[in-house]
Structure 1
Amino acid sequence: MTPALAFFYGGLGRRKNVINTMMMSVLPLAIASLLWVVAGYSLSFGGHGYFFGNISHLFLHGVSETASSRGLAIPDLLFAAFQMMFSIICVAILTGSVVGRMRFTPLAIFVVFWLLLVYYPFAHMVWGDGILAKWGTIDFAGGDVVHITSGVSALVLAIVVGKRRDYGILEHRPHNVPFVLLGAGLLWFGWFGFNAGSALAANGLAVHALVTTHVSAAAAMFSWLALEKYVTGHPSLVGGSTGLVAGLVAITPGAGFVSIWSAILIGAMVSPVCFYAISVLKKRFAYDDALDAFGCHGVGGIFGGLVTAIFTTPNLALDKANVGLIYGNARLFLVTVLAIIFTATWSGLVTYGIIKVIARYMPLRVSDRDEAIGLDDCEHKETAYPTFMGMDS
């Protein structure tokens, strides 16, 4: 999924920054993978603390290749490897908000501390028997843990780093629409593993999650295209691709908890919400979330959490007495609202603290000259589209 996101973001970005944009997306494959093995798994799933795990599984010490200590159908090491993928894609998502102006080195440093202070605590709090799990929060595959944390953090990061120098002056259009579709299509396919795999077994729940994931994305894509046709008169490939991703985001927290008809409704409803966030809220509050990480993942994740608390069915609920609002129980909805507020507040404040500390020791942005030339050349000395004899090959 991470290379898929690199194509999606790379296509949405500008031609002069495509390598930098894709590098920022795939950087977590290195950093997050190694950090997960060293300490991430232990801090996320070790022990039963309220906010943090422990250090009992550093370097995956004591993690069995053949048995499960969690009562699962898969061994602990496979569980650890699967959970690693969530940490990678989560931090890759937030990089989309600052493409085109943030230096690569401070971003790499930020990734390390963000994982330690935001992602691992929330993986533990929700999935590792931490405080949010004790409250009764449910998150099938990463609404709180992945999308709200990364989306809100992306917004804060974009505000602190500042706008692109020509933001609001030039119209920034996707430089490679086929890349956008390729990335979105691969994300759609990869999300089946993301959501269906969260059943942690080859069973009926996994099949159910796969189907709800697919129909939510389909409904969201159709809804976005219809809305775009109504508003602008022209349904676009970029719009349809963005819509399907929003549908995937929204169904993530409830893929294994809501019915199939609910999943279709969730997908149809999330597109207008994210469309409004991207086309109206961003302009009204004048923040430069370059690739709409907050508008799609943050807003979509919050919406997904709320509708999961509304539509969770009795036959799929983890606690049969803690079902969705439409089934006459308000407790899950209230807990979800509190969890969303808690997640957004923690993620935003900690992200702000991390990036401000880094800014005291090194510049966050490239120079105006380098930004004008493009980060591919200035940061990486590479070009995505070599030119020969004055013509693109």
Structure 2
Amino acid sequence: MNNGDTAWLLVSAALVMVMTPALAMFYGGMVRRKNILSTIMQSFIVIALISVEWMLVGYSAAFGPDLGGVIGDLSWFGLGGVGIEPFKGYAATVPHQAFMIYQMMFAVITPALIAGAFAERFRFSTYLVFCLLWSLLVYNPVAHWMWGIGGWLRNLGAIDFAGGTVVHITAGVSALAAVLVVGKRRGFGTDNMAPNNLPMTVLGAGLLWFGWFGFNAGSALAADGLSVHAFVSTHMAAAAGTLAWVFTEWIHRGKPTVLGAASGCIAGLGTITPASGFVQPVSALVIGAAAGSICYGAVMMKGRLGYDDSLDVVGVHCVGGVLGTLATGLFATKLVNPGGADGMFYGNPKQFAIQALAAGVVLVYSFVVTYALLKVLDKLMVLRVSREDEVMGLDLSEHGEAGYTW
């Protein structure tokens, strides 16, 4: 074991854990004041819920001994056999439990991302069941496909350094399925649904930017040059995404907004995630800039397409995840990471085809399973709060408290 690698991975796990309360602030500031606590709760509660699920079955299903390239078996149930000795198949220089707890934080934040799409109208009890089942049926299998030893996408040669496919595509396209099943907020298109606290949203975005260094640089699983490289690429993509969104919005709408700057930084971060440990810093800058402009355009299309994605999860995370996965197939180079692959621009067009296949399969699988799961839950538990409760606000109707007392 290496003490430096272990320390860095534990710090990275803590950084990724902070991202979920940061997401709570980011989302909480964007909803109406009557729903701020319910929105924060949807992010905060998954830290507890998915942590327990991950320890009991999730880690074994995602990273345990392979069953046909599709899922891990449950031989590591309750962390049986997952001790402090390194498991060389994943991280040779850190305790196995350090790798497990690091991956736990990824599993935690992913279902929380989806909640932004159906904010202000989803029943809390149904949400808990949805998050648990979604993690079991969508996140764990896809994580095994891409990252687990024996996973079929991993064996095919698909690469995803820190979760562009596993986290952002799964959450983003599941958000689309969710808003199609749940429907629009009451008053959508007529009522004032402006954010209640943009300073909170910007603070959340800043903390997400900060935590993302653990998300991406920590995925090197060592305190080495690759982690430094991923750190630099992450920061430059976020900076480029922020600038690109702001200037695109400025040209399109006449004014640069604070919400646009916050959204652009998240778009850049999400898009560079799969590529951060495979591409040169200049490529990261290009990917981030593309993310800022393209994700802005995707969010603007929301109105024309007619779906109510409350907090732009589809336009930022789904579109950004797909863009980043494809960009990895273009810009990846073994000059950065000998354990990765060369992309199309480095003489290997096959890698782009593999990345496109991985993105397509994960898109379809995640959408279909999420859509079916929500349809079943709607029949058994009901997805939406009542009309009266939605008008009152979910803070009072679901939790019996208010975010603001004035």
TM-score bracket for this pair, using the shorter chain length: over 0.9
Where 2:179 maps in the other structure, the secondary structure is helix
The count of corresponding residues between Structure 1 and Structure 2 is: 385
Alignment of structure 1 residues 73-152 onto 2, 5 Å? 73-129=93-149, 130-152=151-173
| CA distance in structure 2 between the partners assigned to 1:67 and 1:83 by the alignment | 15
**What are the Cα deviations for residues 31-75 of structure 1, in whole angstroms up to 9, with x where unaligned?**
100000000000011112311000010010111213334252211
**Does 2:41 align with 1:39?**
no
1:236 to 252, 257, 261: 257
The separation in 2 between residues aligned to 1:94 and 1:377, in whole angstroms, is 22
CA contact (8 A) 2:279 2:336 kept: yes
Which blocks of at least 5 consecutive residues in structure 1 are unaligned? 387-391
Query: Do the aligned partners of 2:114 and 2:174 also contact (CA within 8 Å) in 1?
Result: yes
SS of the residue 1:257 aligns to? coil
- Among 35, 40, 43, which residue is 1:22 paired with? 40
Contact map agreement 1:251 1:266 (CA 8 A) in 2? yes
Range 230-239 or range 166-175, more displaced: 166-175
Q: What's the secondary structure of 1:180's corresponding residue?
A: helix
CA contact (8 A) 1:376 1:383 kept: yes
3-state secondary structure, aligned to 1:101: coil
Q: 1:160 aligns with which of 165, 181, 191?
A: 181
Report the equivalent of 1:178: 199
**TM-score between the two structures when normalised by the length of structure 2:** 0.93
Give the TM-score normalised by structure 1. Answer: 0.96
* Equivalence for 1:3: 21
Q: Distance in 2 between matches of 1:67 and 1:96?
A: 37
Deviations along 1:224-262, one digit per CA (max 9) or x if unpaired, are 111111111211111000000000001000100000000
Aligned to 1:389: none
Q: What is the CA–CA distance in structure 2 between the aligned matches of 1:361 and 1:83, rounded to whole Å?
A: 32
Structure 1 residue corresponding to 2:366, chosen from 333, 338, 347: 347
* Contact 1:317 1:323 (8 Å CA) reproduced: no
Match of 1:298 among 318, 325, 331: 318
- Measured in 2, the distance between the counterparts of 1:67 and 1:279 equals 47
* C-alpha distance in structure 2 between counterparts of 1:263 and 1:171, whole Å: 37
Instruction: For structure 2, list consecutive stretches of 5 or more residues without a partner in the other structure.
Output: 1-18
Distance 2:316 2:66 in 1: 32
Q: Is the 8 A contact 1:52 1:125 kept in 2?
A: yes
Give the drift of 1:319: 5.3
CA distance in 2, matches of 1:156, 1:318: 37
**Structure 1 match to 2:384:** 365
Q: CA deviation at 1:170?
A: 2.0
Counterpart residue number, 2:300: 279
Instruction: Flag as ranges the 4+ runs of structure 1 deviating above 6 A.
Output: none
Deviations for 1:125-154, whole angstroms, at most 9, x for unmatched residues? 100030110111000000110000000001
Q: Which moved more, 1:266-275 or 1:63-72?
A: 63-72
Q: Which residue of 2 aligns with 1:64?
A: 83
**2:20 and 2:112 in contact (8 A); partners too:** yes
Q: Give deviations 1:70-109, integer Å, cap 9, x for gaps.
A: 2522111000000000000101100111111110011110
Instruction: Answer with 241-250 or 23-32: which moved more.
Output: 23-32
Structure 1, 368-377 or 76-85: larger mean CA deviation: 368-377
Indicate the RMSD between aligned Cα atoms, in angstroms: 1.1
One-letter code aligned to 2:274: P
- 1:139 is paired with a residue whose SS is coil
Contact 2:226 2:337 in 1 (8 A): no
Q: Distance in 1 between matches of 2:321 and 2:86?
A: 33
The CA distance in 2 between the partners of 1:269 and 1:365, in whole Å, is: 36
Q: 2:166 and 2:228 mapped to 1: Cα distance? A: 22
The one-letter code matched in structure 2 to 1:363 is: V
Aligned to 2:228: 207
